[in-house]
Amino acid sequence: MKNSNRLSFASGCLAIAKMPSNPTEMLPVVVQNLAKSLSFNWFWPFFTPRQLPQQGQSWRCMTQREQALAAEVAHYAREVRSLQRQLAEKEHLAAVGALAASIVHEIRNPLTTLWMWLNYCQHQDLSEVAMERLSLALADGDRLQRLLNQILLYAKPQTLQRQELNLNQLVVETLEVFQHTPVALDRKLEFWHSSTPVFLIADPDKLKQVLINLLTNACEAVSDGDSIYIGVKLIGGDRIGLQVHNGGTSISSDQLPKLTEPFYTTKATGTGLGLTIVQQIVEAHAGAIQIESSETHGTTVTVTLPNSR
């Protein structure tokens, strides 16, 4: 009996040894062809095709938890690299801002002296040619003064004095003052307020500065008698939209991404810092700015801000 068991065991081992390396070879030809067409995986469901080890790799496969942890680690690594880039960029901008501020202060001192002399000459009995040249000098001095002020605003970190405010009311107060400025005298300012009160936590002076810059750009883009449209609306449940629209000449698509870059301007007398400062203020409020322009609809600037309620 023992000899027969040994013989059966030996026969079984010999049969296993003679089995083909590919299990499909034991099947009929028709079934083999079907298995090849379906790319059958003999190890499934224990190993999916992507989990099958390649040459030189370990047979150990990552569990679903390990795969999730690896993906999470990769996600945090990308976030860390992004934060490192942002920090390096902020440090660079801070250094540039400090340098710009020191240069501005050095320019302002002699500029003040020149400004005093030009104002004195304005009250003197000068020839017509001299008065024309004096007017040009005063205009350039005024432009240089505005540029220096904007460089200081750009270089200085945005510090906010936050309080709860009604955006509809803030727009009305800003328009009451702005409509008397020279750039807006021959323009029509139409305000489309939100049907319900819109509240947010923000710095009112900074938001007025944003609105004045956007209104100035809009007024300069249209002709006398044209209208500028200002709108306030809720976007979803947690965002507020402030829009300024003009129907003037459209801005080309290749210029749109550059409008918020420092010192980039499409105007002959522009400083190229207005929209850059606007973007700084909006981002300090955890908001965003979007500019759209087309030949048929004009240009619309949309500022989105968090809703406090």
pLDDT at 106: 79
Q: pTM here? A: 0.60
Say how far apart CA 200 and CA 52 lie, in whole Å: 56
206 Cβ contact partners less than 8 Å away, ≥ 6 residues apart: 158, 160, 281, 284, 285
* Class of residue 273 by CB neighbours under 10 A (exposed 0-12, middle 13-18, buried 19+): buried
Q: What's the CA dihedral at 134, 135, 136, 139 to 10 degrees?
A: 120
Beta-carbon count within 10 A of 245 CB: 21
Each residue's pLDDT, cut to its tens digit, for the chain (309 residues) gives 545 545 454 455 545 445 555 554 555 554 455 445 444 444 444 444 444 455 554 445 667 887 888 888 888 888 888 888 877 777 776 776 677 777 777 787 788 888 888 888 888 888 888 888 888 888 888 878 877 877 777 777 777 899 999 999 999 999 999 998 888 888 999 999 888 888 999 999 999 999 999 999 899 889 888 999 999 998 877 889 999 999 888 888 888 888 888 777 777 666 777 888 889 899 989 999 999 998 888 899 999 999 876
Q: Which tokens is 6 given?
A: 């040994």
Residues contacting 134, CB < 8 A, separation 6+: 118, 121, 122, 126
Structural domains present in the chain: 2-38 (no CATH), 78-155 (1.10.287), 163-306 (3.30.565.10)
The length of the chain, given as a count of residues: 309
Return the exposure string of 30-44: e unless at least 16 CB atoms fall within 10 Å of the residue's CB, then b: eeeeebeeeeeeeee
Question: What confidence score (pLDDT) does residue 20 get?
Answer: 53
DSSP string, 96-144: HHHHHHHHHHHHHHHHHHHHHHHHHHHTS---HHHHHHHHHHHHHHHHH
Place of tokens 């976007």: 235
